[in-house]
Amino acid sequence: MLYFCHFIFGATKITNLIAQHILLKVQKLSLVFFKNHSDFRLETNEDVVAIAGLNGVGKTTVLDAIHFLCLGKSYFSSTDVQCIQNEEIQAGILATLSAEEGVNLKVKFKRGGRKVIEKNGVPYKKLAEHIGQFMAVVIAPGDIELVYGTNEKRRSFVNQVLSQVDREHLMDLLKYNKLLEHRNKHLKQDHVDHALLQTLDDQIAPLAHAIYSKRAVFLEEFSRSFEEQYFRLSGDKESVKLHYISQLADKTYLELVQQNKSKDLAVQRSFSGIHKDEIELEIGDFSLRKYGSQGQIKSALIALKLAEYAFLSNAKKVLPFLLLDDIFEKIDDERARVLTQLIKNDNFGQIFITDTNEERLKAFCEEIGKPYKTIVLT
């Protein structure tokens, strides 16, 4: 059964989707031993914060800190420990956000210790309680793997977007992954307890169907927004399609595990479930990943992110932070011009943008016509 609320994308510009939405701004930001910043401080109230500097000076680190504050983890590093400076024991991020009421956020974590996130001085009992309260959308060069990479990358993208607006979905994912890990571990035993395997499958089944149902409804709506954003980025010249392929579209989870039981036992891992879902992108009737040009693939990436922004804005009635990391280094002049116009004409929240070229940053800020602050890191 499908039981996810209906989100309207249609052919509506982001401006119309987010009228009357709450605007969050970072007013103060402090980083302590976070990556390559030992003691970084920023104060701003501008709509756009432009950060210039050579590679390696910590431009991306500032964006990553904002993402960490919003989602409780780094966007660019796979573990928290990688975010702590060498030879230091712990790291911290502090920020004051302006909204209808001021909000103070603090993240602190240390080697071998637990991570603590505080809102207005009160730590969360569970980190999952923080997810969805503050949102950020990142566009970075490495995101190209969303198009080029495996289905696991695209599933992770969908999971992160949906989890920010649906707490139940987040909890279902956490439970599903924990049970799946237990199932795979058991399949590797010398003597498999089939009764235990059945018990696990009975617990996994309702979670798998709930996750599938919400993904299906979400991606039906999200695909329309993605296709519209791409069409705009291509100058109304090209069209793309997003396809969601799941084993659960035709059979129940329990039917699938019974069908693949011998295979699971032979290779000692689970071949049935939503962790095998596929999300494919096409241009014309061809795989975008295999046959798309560099320009088409980059446009598809940006379109995915703009569709993410529209979805989160509409679902939460809050404007996410837009974090743009060295995007002008990786796209051609025409696509840079179109993207600049989209940002100028649509209504976004506070924007943080990095570039090695200070003059190009200033030109971007002048063109979009929003109050901005330029920071040069050395």
pLDDT tens profile 230-265: 998 888 889 999 999 999 999 999 999 999 999 999
Please give the pLDDT value at position 69: 96
Q: Which domain holds residue 227?
A: 150-315
Please give the pLDDT value at position 19: 52
310 and 188 inside one domain: yes
Locate 81 and state its tokens.
């420990």
In a domain, 64, yes or no: yes
Please give the pLDDT value at position 192: 93
305 and 367 inside one domain: no
Please give the pLDDT value at position 6: 31
337 and 291 inside one domain: no
297 and 373 inside one domain: no
* Model confidence, pTM: 0.90
- Among 299, 315, 331, where does a domain finish? 315
Locate 248 and state its tokens.
């659960």
370 and 253 inside one domain: no
Please give the pLDDT value at position 100: 62
What total number of domains does the chain contain?
A: 2
Locate 109 and state its tokens.
């974590």
In a domain, 32, yes or no: yes
Which residues 6+ apart lie within 8 Å of 213 measured at CB? 1, 2, 3, 4
Q: Which amino acid is at 230?
A: Y
Residue written as token pair 């100028």: 344
161 and 259 inside one domain: yes
Which residues 6+ apart lie within 8 Å of 298 measured at CB? 144, 330, 331, 335
Q: Indicate the burial class of 78 (C-beta count within 10 angstroms; 0-12, 13-18, 19 or more).
A: exposed
Please give the pLDDT value at position 263: 95
Q: How far apart are CA 63 and CA 322, in angstroms?
A: 9
166 and 63 inside one domain: no
Please give the pLDDT value at position 234: 87
What stretches in the chain show pLDDT beneath 70?
A: 1-19, 100
3-state secondary structure the chain: CCCCCCCCCCCCCHHHHCCCCEECEEEEEEEEEECCEEEEEEECCCCEEEEECCCCCCHHHHHHHHHHHHHCCCCCCCCCHHHECCCCCEEEEEEEEECCCCEEEEEEEECCCCCEEEECCEECCCHHHCCCCCCEEEECHHHHHHHHCCHHHHHHHHHHHHHCCCHHHHHHHHHHHHHHHHHHHHHCCCCCCHHHHHHHHHHHHHHHHHHHHHHHHHHHHHHHHHHHHHHHHCCCCCCEEEEEECHHHCCCHHHHHHHCHHHHHHHCCCCCCHHHCEEEEEECCEEHHHHCCHHHHHHHHHHHHHHHHHHHHHHHCEECEEEEECHHHCCCHHHHHHHHHHHHHCCCCCEEEEECCHHHHHHHHHHHCCCEEEEECC
- Among 296, 315, 334, where does a domain finish? 315
93 and 171 inside one domain: no
